[in-house]
Amino acid sequence: MALATHGTTTGALYVYGFVRGGALKRFRQEGVDGADVTVVEGEGIAAIVSPVRTTDMKMKRRDLHRHLGVIESAFESTTVIPCAFGTIVESSAELEDGVLIGARDDLLDGFARLDGKVQMNVKATYDEEKLLREILASDPQVAALRERTRGAGEAGYYDRIRLGEIVAARVEERTEADTARLADALAAHAVDVTLEGPGRGVALRGSFLVARKSLARFESALEALARAERPLLRFEAIGPLPPTAFAASSVNSRG
Amino acid sequence: MAVATRGTSSNYLQRAPSPSGLADVLDVILDKGLVIDAYVRVSVIGIEVVTIDARIVIASVDTYLRFAEAVNRLDLQQTERAGIEELRGGGKKDETKGVIEGAKEKVTPGRGNSRKERSR
């Protein structure tokens, strides 16, 4: 197939994701490295691609936005299986034989699984001062050590380490319990969940796959949860997004 | 971070339809998405972005405190910078190691739990 290219081209293609054949033809979005975005179709499936102009293409920060922008624009009108950032195939022939034909059944299963679903990313972070105050108030050992180390200067060095160890352990326990509780509350309105590993000060960071018809319920649950958890926790929600966190399990789950 | 707000945005729940800041974009696309190398030869460009794994942090109060300060500064700055100047064949391991005291985790797009081999 003919690709709109300018300058020299390697024949290699940057792949953004997959949609059902015929769903999309043209993209206004600029692709990675400023290239034009188009589709390679075969067997009822279309790969969203753009030409790779040089073998040592330098990706820039804006290419992250372009990658997501292309996927988001496809997601506006159809079901899309997003590819991992930075996926490049040797040629359109390899893409057709290897993926459009070779992975056809898996991709079709993926579309069916993701049809009518959106991804909501939710993050809840602690107000650290409030969290530490709660721990201090609820743990006499922490309070005692704090008293002992205050004003002790260098003499209190080992007590300070001990204090830090205990506080860190309490924070970890607390976070673990909160993560499970918050994730459960939202998972009740989702069809799938992927949670990110713990991060400092983070009670919840995860992606929820939500049916469009349940989106209003998910959002009210989120609103209610965030209101109930204030002021210790502050929530951020991004979406509806294309299902980037759920694409992998739609075909080859290797995790 | 500028977040386009809508609907129920409040001081306890901030809403955005799409990620705008780099950290949020990375959250959405890095290490996410379909990996097709089971079917075809692919080269996943080796962008390695340093993130901070707080689990490793708590070796002592000393590092805890230093880290606490460092993380607040580093978390975003580091990502912004590592954010994507370096590429391909990635491995600026040693440069970044000292900066955040080894408490880091490399994230390679699409290769979360899989082998790190790259074709060609």
- Per-residue confidence (pLDDT) for residue A61, from 0 to 100: 76
Give the mean model confidence (pLDDT) for residues A1-27.
76
So where are chain B's domains? Answer: 44-107
The per-residue DSSP string of chain B comes to ------TT--SSEEEESS--SHHHHHHHHTT-SB--TTTS-EEE----EEEE-GGGTTT-HHHHHHHHHHHHHHHHHHHHHHHHH--SS---HHHHHTTTTT-EEEE-TT-SSS------
A10 CB-contact burial (10 Å; exposed 0-12 / middle 13-18 / buried 19+): middle
What contacts A180, CB < 8 A, 6 or more positions away?
none
The pLDDT value recorded for residue A225 is 98
CB contact under 8 A, A68 and B29: yes
* Residue A236 in this model has a pLDDT that exceeds 90: yes
Distance CA A41, CA A106 (A): 16
Nearest of A102, A110, A84 to residue A244 by alpha carbon = A84
pLDDT for A126 beyond 90:
yes
Using an 8 Å CB-CB cutoff, list chain B residues near A67. 29
List pLDDT tens digits, range A188-223: 999 999 998 877 789 999 999 999 999 999 999 999
Q: pLDDT digits over A75-119, tens only?
A: 999 999 999 888 889 899 999 999 999 999 999 999 999 999 999
**The pair of three-digit structure tokens given for residue A122, joined into one six-digit string:** 């939710």
- Asked if A247 contacts B34 with a C-beta cutoff of 8 angstroms, the reply is yes
Average pLDDT, chain A: 88
Q: State which of A214-218, B81-85, B99-103 shows the largest mean pLDDT.
A: A214-218
Question: Tell me, what DSSP letter sits at residue A251?
Answer: S
Q: What is the DSSP letter of A97?
A: I
CB contact under 8 A, A199 and B54: yes
For testing contact with chain A, the best of B1, B8, B40, B101 (most A CBs within 10 A):
B40
Segments of A6-52 assigned E as strands = 13-20, 38-42, 45-51
B109/A67 Cβ within 8 A: no
Q: Which pLDDT score, from 0 to 100, does residue B45 have? A: 55
pLDDT of residue B71: 34
Contact B16 A95 (CB under 8 A): no
Contacts of A150 (CB under 8 A, 6+ apart): none
Q: What is the mean pLDDT of residues A160-172?
A: 84
Q: What is the pLDDT of residue A3?
A: 47
| pLDDT tens for each residue of B23-81 | 788 888 877 889 887 777 776 554 433 332 322 333 334 444 443 333 333 233 333 34
Residue A17 has pLDDT above 70, yes or no: yes
Q: Could you give the CA distance from residue B97 to residue A204 in angstroms, rounded to a whole number?
A: 27
Looking at residue B46, its pLDDT comes to 45
Tell whether B112 lies on the interface with A, counting CB pairs under 8 A. Answer: yes
B22/chain A closest Cα distance in angstroms: 8
Give pLDDT, residue A209. 98
Residue A8 — very low, low, confident or very high, per pLDDT cuts 50/70/90? low
Own/partner pairs, A156-165, CB within 8 angstroms, 24+ separation: A160/B61, A161/B60, A161/B61, A161/B62, A162/B61, A163/B61, A164/B58, A164/B60, A164/B61, A164/B64, A164/B65, A165/B58, A165/B60, A165/B61
Task: Tell me the pLDDT band of A55, cut-offs 50, 70 and 90.
Answer: low
Give which of A253, A250, A240, A251 is closest to A113, Cα–Cα: A250
Comparing alpha-carbon positions, the chain B residue that sits nearest to A124 is B13
- Listed in sequence order, the residues at least 6 apart from A206 whose beta carbon sits closer than 8 Å to its beta carbon are A121, A122, A183, A186, A193, A194, A195, A196
Q: Lowest-confidence range among A45-54, A230-239, B30-39? A: B30-39
Q: Look at residue B84 in the predicted model and tell me its pLDDT.
A: 40
To 5 degrees, how large is the angle CA A187–CA A190–CA A192?
Answer: 85
Structure tokens at A84: 């991992």
Rounded CA-CA distance A118/A112 in Å is 13
For B14, which of A236, A239, A251 is closest by C-beta distance? Answer: A236
Compute chain A's Rg from CA coordinates: 24
Cβ contact A18–B88 (<8 Å): no
B62–A161 C-beta distance less than 8 A: yes
- Judged against a pLDDT cut of 70, whether residue A130 lies above it is answered with yes
pLDDT, residue A149, reads 75
The full set of domain ranges for chain A reads 13-115, 118-250
Average pLDDT of the segment spanning A171-197: 95
Q: For an interface test with B, which of A200, A205, A227, A253 has the most B Cβ atoms less than 10 Å from its Cβ?
A: A200
More confident residue, A238 or B24: A238
Q: Regarding beta strands A192-195 and B49-52, do their DSSP bridges make them parallel or antiparallel, or are they unpaired? A: unpaired
Complex-level ipTM beyond the 0.85 threshold: no
Residue predicted with more confidence, A135 or A181? A181
Chain B residues closer than 8 Å to A233 by CB = 12
Task: Decide if B50 touches A, using CB distance below 8 A.
Answer: no
With contact defined as beta carbons under 8 Å apart, do A119 and A208 qualify?
A: yes
